[in-house]
């Protein structure tokens, strides 16, 4: 029994040392749908190199936004600072079952001055609203 465990551990170490990684998790349907909707909205800006993270809750987003806004010495200390009213409109639209994701377009879009970053509210595979937090 113990020798079987040793063999399993050694096999795992060989697998990792050979440069193989554990299989990546498949994206959640929410993230997959959001990526497809963003890709359809901004054709050249998304694809495999873009970042789409989620699902995110309103509370998580507000905590992240407050952390980032605290670095700004002249910004209002509330989620998204000067974009707070826009954030309030965004979050009023969120319903149970919706998908909210953070997105950042691919590096080529930033180099080409059409990069986008922010949050998207996706319902039924379609973007209901987005909140852009950075543009290039």
72 inside domain = yes
pLDDT in tens, the chain (136 residues): 444 433 333 344 333 344 444 444 556 899 999 999 999 988 878 888 999 999 999 999 999 999 999 998 999 999 999 999 999 999 999 999 999 999 999 999 999 999 999 999 999 999 999 999 999 9
For the chain, what is the domain count? Answer: 1
Give the pLDDT score at 48. 84
Q: Retrieve residue 74's tokens.
A: 């002249």
What distance in Å separates the CA atoms of residue 86 and residue 133, rounded to the nearest whole number? 11
88 inside domain = yes
15 inside domain = no
20 inside domain = no
103 inside domain = yes
Range of the domain at 110: 28-135
Return the DSSP state at 78.
S
Report which secondary-structure segment, H or E, holds 41. helix 29-41
């Amino acid at each position: 029994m113990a020798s079987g465990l040793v063999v399993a551990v050694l096999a795992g170490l060989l697998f990792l040392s050979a440069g193989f990684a554990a299989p990546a998790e498949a994206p959640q349907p929410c993230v997959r749908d959001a990526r497809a909707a963003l890709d359809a909205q901004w054709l050249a800006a998304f694809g495999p190199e873009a970042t789409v993270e989620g699902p995110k809750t309103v509370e998580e987003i507000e905590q992240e936004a407050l952390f980032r806004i605290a670095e700004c010495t002249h910004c209002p200390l509330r989620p998204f600072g000067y974009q707070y009213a826009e954030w309030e409109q965004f979050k009023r639209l969120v319903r149970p079952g919706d998908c909210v994701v953070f997105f950042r377009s691919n590096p080529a879009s930033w180099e080409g001055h059409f990069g986008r970053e922010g949050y998207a509210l996706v319902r039924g595979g379609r973007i209901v609203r987005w909140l852009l937090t950075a543009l290039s």
